[in-house]
A and B are shown apart, each in its own frame.
Chain A
């Protein structure tokens, strides 16, 4: 079983703060790295699928970077809002095309 780790496990920030989380994954047999947002009582929603080393993707105030050589990805949220409160999951897609998920970072944005 592949090892995909996310840190921190949970995070509380004030509205307006910027924050970032880390996902580390195996650097071999890499195909893609996925980020999902999972709000309470909803289904996980895809944010990004990243494939190339050095890739940067952005969606509104959320952005992500990818380093496949050292096996990590960062997710950044600029100017956090209460509606950003969710669990953020990363998932490693290897040559087998299956996803191996990290255990997630639970973000709470306090008004």
Chain B
């Protein structure tokens, strides 16, 4: 089974802090994604990557950056956390072929105080 592991289930940080959310997958998938989920809005794509050192903006990239130095690891960075970034963050991966489902981590519930 594909395993997508996110570093924390719950995280509390303060406004202005730099926050790192880590995601690791063990199936050698080329594609990795970061989403946030807010009530009534569904999953919204923040950033994605199709290869090492490659990144593309999703629908809501403002206030975030990403890093993919190794194929299995995709990090989401909040450069200066703000209260409107309090949310559930989900990482996903998929192989580099069409029509393939994405495999998700358990999510990180991040609170910015």
- Spell out A's residues near B (CB within 8 Å): 1, 4, 9, 31-32, 34, 36, 41-46, 49, 51, 89, 91, 93, 97-104
A-B contact pairs, 29 of them (CB 8 A): A4-B42, A31-B99, A32-B98, A32-B99, A34-B102, A36-B101, A41-B106, A42-B106, A43-B104, A43-B107, A44-B90, A45-B104, A46-B102, A46-B103, A49-B100, A49-B101, A89-B42, A89-B43, A91-B43, A93-B98, A93-B99, A97-B31, A98-B58, A99-B102, A101-B42, A102-B42, A103-B40, A103-B41, A103-B42
Size class of the B contact interface (CB-based, 8 Å): 20 to 34
With the chains together, A46 CA to B102 CA distance in Å? 7
List residues of chain B with CB within 8 A of the CB of A32: 98-99
Q: Which residues of B contact A (CB under 8 A)?
A: 4, 31, 33, 35, 40-45, 48, 58-59, 90, 98-107
The answer to whether A34 touches B59 (Cβ under 8 A) is no
Q: How far is the CB of A27 from chain B (nearest CB, A)?
A: 18
